[in-house]
């Protein structure tokens, strides 16, 4: 189960909702100003509306619908405060209907061949690329990042759909050497079911495609809850998914009242998996607290360039941004000077304005889109604690949510502020870097191959960049350790999160139950609606339940919250495969009653546990996946 590859931006949002209608007062009061759109933004919005990509309704069962009580949320441009659109403010009723729609769509979507699902995803990828300009404009409108960076996110986000369109055809199982001559042991990977995907605002497209791509490729259906700050990109992507042939109900999008939507997804027995990138309402942990470590032997230009990219991309508002820059004594002063000069050259402004990166090669600082009050209060606290400002340190003259790129000493923050922390030895750097509850990404800069390996292995982080500041890619696993999330997204490992392993043993004889201290009991005429049929009987009692058809047997067997082991007895090879695949259980015995063995995976689905024990899969539960990206490798 994935609760997110990183724990970042609030499940209930970082600013208050505005839910309004013609017959109701606002649900909550917005803390931001609401202005009418400027002519430039209005022109972009009109073009997007004409293209059919500016959607304001939720998507449930393949239909675009308003919230049931007609309430709406105002989506603002963070650079100007202008109102971009009013979108449906949905809650528990709409979410439950979206879940039901996904649940109904799951059997038909999961039964499609991998090749058929692959073709649908490939068409979706093609449409995302064909509309990259419009999608980039939409991201800049509602999220604020520079247009060039926004279009780059579209390419990055689309790459996950392309990757999983290909990976859908490579979901392989296993054949395990048996521990008895009359047995055959096989492992299948089957789609989990309905997935609830909760995504943040900082990458409104890529965070969705990184979750939805592997889910759909695996045969799962999805209910997406995008951030209420940036729902428009998610809705546009869903529109293109429909055009690509994703069937009604396989992909649903609901947005609005985040606590209600989140609760509905978490409590529904039909939702079999939650994939979540964000943080809870009680947490202000808004990043992976990533260190960038600069050793004395680092190439200064490479270190400055790499740290600049790792720190200030998306105004420092990504979960893998370098929140702490650790610099060794011997290079500290040189790096501080060179880094401050580079930061001073960064431009600050609206992503649509002339001279921004959409027109030039210069980097741009976009608006602060996190909890603005928290961000500014944090900066004030750091200054009161004695942090020395090397550059910046105040709101930008542009006003609104713009903040000057800042370099300070000895602190960390989620935004365009880079703290420089001095260290003496390699051991000091590792100790400081690991002294945090987070563990998503880390960066090191050194020309020593030996040091690069020592430090990479010692850092308690899921991703490590060596002489490289931009390390995220669709072909590598993305995820953290400690309190930076569970599971991985991206790469072949991202597919594993959406499959359950089912074990089939092909036997051919009845098994002796051996000695027992309790009198075996048989109860006949038990019906499928009796409690005995739905709950576990932990003892030597065997209820007999009559069924007529194969479909009846599967329905009765699956009508339970548990899903550890099932057994079927048939001489039909075809039926053994059909029923084994249809049973919602982690272990399936065919013509065999004793199926546990150390060489096969043991574990259930639904409410029968998480993970697997036994076999090679049991080892996976005790490993963290670390991805290391080595940069600057062309140096002679």
**What are the phi and psi torsion angles at 471 (to 5°)?**
-120, -10
**CA 625/CA 458 separation, integer angstroms:** 13
Tell me, yes or no, if 285 is annotated catalytic.
yes
Spatial neighbors of 634 by CB under 8 A, at least 6 apart, are: none
> What are 59's two structure tokens?
């998507």
> What are 398's two structure tokens?
């542009």
Strands (E), 306-383: 322-328, 347-348, 364-365
SS3 string of 559-623?
CCCCCCEEEECCCCHHHHHHHHHHCCCCEEEECCCCCCCCCCCECCCCCCCCCCECHHHHHHCCC
Distances (CA, A) of 289 to 7, 369, 485, 604: 11, 18, 13, 35
Of 46, 228, 260, 285, catalytic: 285
DSSP symbols for 131-145: THHHHHHHHHHHH--
DSSP symbols for 427-462: HHHHHHHH-SS--SEEEEE-S-HHHHHHHHHHS--S
Give the strand pairing for 441-445 and 463-466. Answer: parallel
Query: Largest alpha-carbon pair distance within the chain?
Result: 85
Q: Which of 250, 249, 203, 241 is nearest to 125 (CA)?
A: 241
**CA 208/CA 216 separation, integer angstroms:** 12
CB contact burial 577-603 (16+ within 10 A = b; e otherwise): eebbebbbbbbbbbbbeebebeebbbb
**CA 60/CA 238 separation, integer angstroms:** 11
Other C-beta atoms closer than 10 Å to the C-beta of 519 total 7
The secondary element (H helix, E strand) that includes residue 95 is helix 92-111
**CA 257/CA 16 separation, integer angstroms:** 10
Contact 168, 213 (CB under 8 A): no
Contact 352, 147 (CB under 8 A): yes
**What are the phi and psi torsion angles at 204 (to 5°)?**
-65, -20
| Share in percent of the chain as helix, strand, coil (round to 5) | 35, 20, 45
**CA 488/CA 13 separation, integer angstroms:** 23
**What are the phi and psi torsion angles at 446 (to 5°)?**
-160, 150
**CA 22/CA 110 separation, integer angstroms:** 42
**CA 451/CA 293 separation, integer angstroms:** 12
**What are the phi and psi torsion angles at 24 (to 5°)?**
-140, 150
Question: What residues are annotated to the active site?
Answer: 285
């Amino acid at each position: 189960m994935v609760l997110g590859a990183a724990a970042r931006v609030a499940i209930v949002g970082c600013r208050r909702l505005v839910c309004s209608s013609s017959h109701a007062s606002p649900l909550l009061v917005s803390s931001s100003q609401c202005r009418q759109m400027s002519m430039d933004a209005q022109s972009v919005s009109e073009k997007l509306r004409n293209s059919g990509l500016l959607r304001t309704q939720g998507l449930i069962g393949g239909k675009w619908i308003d919230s049931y009580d007609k309430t709406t949320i105002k989506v603002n441009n963070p650079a100007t405060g202008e109102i971009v659109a009013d979108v449906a403010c949905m809650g528990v009723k709409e979410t439950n209907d979206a879940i039901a729609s996904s649940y109904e769509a799951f059997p038909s979507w999961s039964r499609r061949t991998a090749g058929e699902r692959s073709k649908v995803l490939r068409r979706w990828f093609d449409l995302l690329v064909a509309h990259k300009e419009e999608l980039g404009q939409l991201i800049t409108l509602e999220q604020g990042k520079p247009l060039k960076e926004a279009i780059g996110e579209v390419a990055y986000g689309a790459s996950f759909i392309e990757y999983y369109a290909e990976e859908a055809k490579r979901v392989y199982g296993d054949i395990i050497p048996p521990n008895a001559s009359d047995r055959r042991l096989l492992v299948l990977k089957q789609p989990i079911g309905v997935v609830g995907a909760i995504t943040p605002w900082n990458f409104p497209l890529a965070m969705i495609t990184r979750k939805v791509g592997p889910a759909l490729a695996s045969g799962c259906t999805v209910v997406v809850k995008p951030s209420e700050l940036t729902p428009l990109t998610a809705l546009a992507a869903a529109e293109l998914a429909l055009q690509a042939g994703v069937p009604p109900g396989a992909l649903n999008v609901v947005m609005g009242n985040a606590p209600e939507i989140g609760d509905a997804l978490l409590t529904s027995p039909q939702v079999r998996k939650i994939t979540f990138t964000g943080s809870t309402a009680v947490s202000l942990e808004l990043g992976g607290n990533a260190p960038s470590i600069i050793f004395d032997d680092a190439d200064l230009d490479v270190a400055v360039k790499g740290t600049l990219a790792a720190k200030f991309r998306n105004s420092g508002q990504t979960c893998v941004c370098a929140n702490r820059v650790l610099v060794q004594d011997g290079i500290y002063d040189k790096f501080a000077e060179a880094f401050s000069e580079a930061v001073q050259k960064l431009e600050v402004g609206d992503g649509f304005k002339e001279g921004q990166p959409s027109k030039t090669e210069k980097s741009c600082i976009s608006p602060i889109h996190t909890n603005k009050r928290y961000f500014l209060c944090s900066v004030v606290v750091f200054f009161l604690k004695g942090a020395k400002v090397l550059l910046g340190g105040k709101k930008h003259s542009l006003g609104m949510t713009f903040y000057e790129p800042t370099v300070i000493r000895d602190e960390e923050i989620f935004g365009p502020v880079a703290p420089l922390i001095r260290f003496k030895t390699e051991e000091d750097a590792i100790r400081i870097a690991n002294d945090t509850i987070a563990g998503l990404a880390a960066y090191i800069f050194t020309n020593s191959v030996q040091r690069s390996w020592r430090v990479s292995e010692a850092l308690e982080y899921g991703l490590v960049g060596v002489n490289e500041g931009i390390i995220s890619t669709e072909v590598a696993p993305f995820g953290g350790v400690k309190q930076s999330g569970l599971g991985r997204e991206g790469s072949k490992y991202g597919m594993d999160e959406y499959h359950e392993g089912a074990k089939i043993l092909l036997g051919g004889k009845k098994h002796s139950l051996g000695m027992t201290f309790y009198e075996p009991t048989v109860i006949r005429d038990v019906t499928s609606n009796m409690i005995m049929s739905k709950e576990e009987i932990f003892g030597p009692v065997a209820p007999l339940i009559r069924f007529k058809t194969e479909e009846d047997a599967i329905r009765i067997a699956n009508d339970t919250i548990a899903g550890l082991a099932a057994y079927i007895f048939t001489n039909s090879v075809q039926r053994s495969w059909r029923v084994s695949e249809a049973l919602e259980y982690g272990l399936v015995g065919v013509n065999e009653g004793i199926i546990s063995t150390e060489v096969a995976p043991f574990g259930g689905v639904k409410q029968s546990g998480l993970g697997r024990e036994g076999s090679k899969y049991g080892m996976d539960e005790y490993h963290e996946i670390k991805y290391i990206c080595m940069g600057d490798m062309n140096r002679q």
